[in-house]
């Protein structure tokens, strides 16, 4: 087995009575990879993580870690450790004893035990905190102690179940960078569960998007954003505009599509697409430019519209433009000043064909 198949999840399904929580999942995860399971609540991501940890057993399928079938092995015998959203720091013992708690059955000498604890504290940049108690730590420090307690056992795989969910936004963003830095320094495989796309996209080497127990796409973050394979992934990752379209003709390199109320255009071919098929043209808001006149910039598509709303987000403004014949206003994001463009203003939206992605409806 290669390092690219360090963890193999093979045809794994999990049923709870009549509910299929995980549905025939197949994933290969590389040694030393930061891999995220991303999806809405109830999509099966935490159940899949618990199967990897051994807290749940699959109804069907197998789990292999480092070429060993661990499907039926209990959690304490697996080369994994888990960090939860609730850090479960024991309040009645200090940081040092919290971290060494999982090592007590390993019959280590006091010298080796102290060294392992000190190394773990150094990893999470909390040297000198050994004698503090939980109520003397900030939320971010408690999170790092939970990480140190998991890493001190030197697992081959660290499983993280929404560990940043209880932190405020600014601290969560700081911890994202710290987690990624930590993962790179220790070099072990991290499997991270979250419903927060920003967390997954910021930290991961690859992301698996889940919905209704199934894996819909596995890709590096940039590819996931720029080339969603289906409507759910496109809509779940970032903001996006969907335009109803129809395939007019197909050859081996190009697809001619009719975009409702915008005209006919030739785009790059995608697999398994047929003439006459209904399809969606997907456009990210930041790729659309908005102008007061239609001759201000050069673009492949320029269409007149009316501004129906604007939302200011500090470094970015979202502009919503109604176009005749299109039900939902198009969303445009821009950091440029909207000179002369306000609510109810006439405007032009400008789109280049290279920024359009074709997505099959099914």
Q: Can you give the residue ranges of every domain in the chain? A: 3-235, 241-360
Q: Tell me the per-residue pLDDT of 212-257, one tens digit each, with 9 for 90 and over.
A: 999 999 999 999 999 999 999 999 999 999 999 999 999 888 899 9
**126 with 160: CB under 8 angstroms?**
no
pLDDT the model gives residue 268: 84
SS3 sequence of the chain: CCHHHCEEEEEEEEEECCEEEEEEEEEEECCCCEEEEECCCCCCHHHHHHHHHCCCCCCEEEEEECCEECCCCCHHHCCEEEECCCCCCCCCCCHHHHHHHHHHHHCCCHHHHHHHHHHHHHHCCCCCCCCCCHHHCCHHHHHHHHHHHHHCCCCCEEEEECCCCCCCHHHHHHHHHHHHHHHHHHCCEEEEEECCHHHHHHHCCEEEEEECCEEEEEECHHHHHHCCCCHHHHHHCCCCEEEEEEEEEECCCEEEEEECCCEEEEEECCCCCCCCCEEEEEECHHHCEEECCCCCCCCCEEEEEEEEEEEECCCCEEEEEECCCCCCCEEEEECCCCCCCCCCCEEEEEECHHHEEEEECC
Residues 121-150, mean pLDDT to the nearest whole number: 88
pLDDT the model gives residue 27: 98
The CATH-assigned architecture of domain 241-360 is Beta Barrel (2.40)
Find residue 277's DSSP bridge partners.
Answer: none
pLDDT the model gives residue 103: 84
Instruction: Tell if the pTM clears 0.85, that is, is over it.
Output: yes
Burial of 324 (0-12, 13-18, 19+ CB in 10 A): exposed
What average pLDDT does the structure give for the chain?
Answer: 91
**307 with 292: CB under 8 angstroms?**
no
Answer yes or no: is pLDDT of 71 > 90: yes
Could you tell me which of 252, 280, 278, 254 has the C-alpha nearest to residue 266? 254
Find residue 160's DSSP bridge partners.
Answer: 83, 192
Answer yes or no: is pLDDT of 1 > 80: no
Answer yes or no: is pLDDT of 307 > 80: yes
Task: Let me know if domain 3-235 sits in CATH 2.40.160.10.
Answer: no
């Amino acid at each position: 087995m290669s390092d690219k198949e360090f963890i193999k999840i093979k045809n794994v399904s999990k049923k709870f009575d009549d509910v299929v929580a995980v549905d025939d999942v197949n994933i290969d995860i590389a040694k030393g990879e930061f891999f995220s399971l991303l999806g809405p609540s109830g999509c099966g991501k935490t159940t899949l993580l618990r199967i990897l940890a051994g807290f749940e057993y699959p109804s069907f399928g197998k789990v292999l870690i480092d070429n060993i079938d661990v499907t039926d092995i209990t959690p304490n015998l697996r080369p994994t450790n888990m960090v939860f959203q609730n850090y479960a720091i024991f309040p009645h013992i200090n940081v040092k004893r919290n971290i060494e708690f999982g090592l007590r059955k390993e019959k280590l000498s006091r010298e080796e035990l102290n060294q392992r604890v000190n190394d773990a504290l150094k990893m999470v940049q909390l040297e000198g905190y050994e004698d503090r108690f939980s109520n003397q730590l900030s939320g971010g420090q408690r999170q790092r102690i939970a990480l140190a307690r998991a890493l001190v056992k030197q697992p081959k795989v660290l499983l993280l179940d929404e560990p940043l969910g209880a932190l405020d936004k600014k601290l969560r963003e700081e911890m994202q960078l710290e987690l990624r830095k930590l993962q790179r320094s220790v070099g072990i495989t991290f499997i991270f569960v979250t419903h927060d796309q920003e967390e997954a996209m910021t930290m991961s080497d690859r992301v698996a998007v889940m919905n209704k127990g199934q894996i819909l796409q596995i890709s590096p973050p940039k590819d996931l954003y720029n080339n969603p394979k289906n409507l759910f992934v496109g809509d779940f990752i970032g903001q996006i505009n969907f335009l109803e379209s129809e395939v007019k003709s197909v050859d081996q390199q190009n697809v001619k599509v009719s975009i409702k109320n915008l005209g006919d255009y030739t785009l790059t071919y995608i697999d398994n697409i047929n003439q006459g098929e209904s399809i969606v043209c997907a456009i990210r808001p930041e790729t659309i430019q908005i102008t007061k006149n239609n001759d201000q910039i050069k673009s492949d598509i320029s269409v007149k519209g009316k501004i129906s709303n604007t939302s200011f987000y500090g470094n970015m403004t979202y502009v919503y433009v109604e176009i005749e014949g299109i039900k939902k206003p198009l969303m445009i994001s821009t950091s440029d000043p909207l000179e002369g463009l306000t609510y109810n203003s006439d405007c032009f939206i400008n789109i280049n064909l290279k920024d359009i992605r074709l997505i099959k409806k099914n």
